[in-house]
Amino acid sequence: MIKAGVIGSTGYAGSELVKLLHLHPHVASVTASSKSYAGQNYADVYPNFLGEFENTCADVDIEHLADECDVLFLSLPHGLASSMVTSSILERCVIIDLGADFRLKDADVYQKWYNTTHHSPALLEKSVYGLSEVNRQQIAESRLIANPGCYTTCSILSLYPLLKAGLIDKDSIIIDAKSGVSGAGRKAQLSLMFAEVNESVKAYGVTTHRHTPEIEQELSLAFSHGVSENEITLSFTPHLIPMSRGILTTSYASLLQGVKEEDVKKAYTDSYGEEKFIRLKPEGSFPETRFVKGSNYFDLSYIVDKRVNRLIVIGAIDNIMKGAAGQAVQNMNIVFGLPEESGLELLSSIPM
Residue 94: count of CB within 10 angstroms of its CB: 22
229 Cβ contact partners less than 8 Å away, ≥ 6 residues apart: 105, 106, 217, 220, 221
Active site residues: 150
Residue 199: count of CB within 10 angstroms of its CB: 6
Contacts for 186-189: CB closer than 8 Å, 24+ residues apart = 186/10, 186/11, 186/12
Between vectors from CA 56 to CA 146 and to CA 346, what angle results, nearest 5°? 50
265 Cβ contact partners less than 8 Å away, ≥ 6 residues apart: none
The closest alpha carbon to 55, from 40, 74, 70, belongs to: 40
The Cα–Cα gap between 332 and 83 comes to: 22
176 Cβ contact partners less than 8 Å away, ≥ 6 residues apart: 237, 239, 249, 250, 251, 252
Interior/surface letters 255-286, b for 16+ CB within 10 angstroms, e for the rest: beeebeeeebeebbeebbeebebbbbbeeeeb
